[in-house]
Amino acid sequence: MIAKIATEQNEDEVNIFFEKYLDKDKDAITCEEFLCPFGVKAAVKRKQIVIIIDNEKRIIAAARFYPRKRDKDESMRIIF
Structural domain harbouring 61 = 2-79
For residues 79 and 35, give the distance between their C-alpha atoms in angstroms, rounded to a whole number.
Answer: 12
pLDDT score of 71: 62
- How many structural domains comprise the chain? 1
- Which pTM value belongs to this model? 0.76
Q: What is the CATH number of the domain that holds 55?
A: 3.40.630.30
Residue 14 DSSP SS3? helix
CA–CA gap between residue 45 and residue 11 (Å, rounded): 10
Packed helices 11-21 and 37-45: angle between N→C axes, nearest 10 degrees: 130
- Residue-wise pLDDT tens digits, 19-59: 888 777 765 555 666 678 898 899 999 998 999 999 999 99
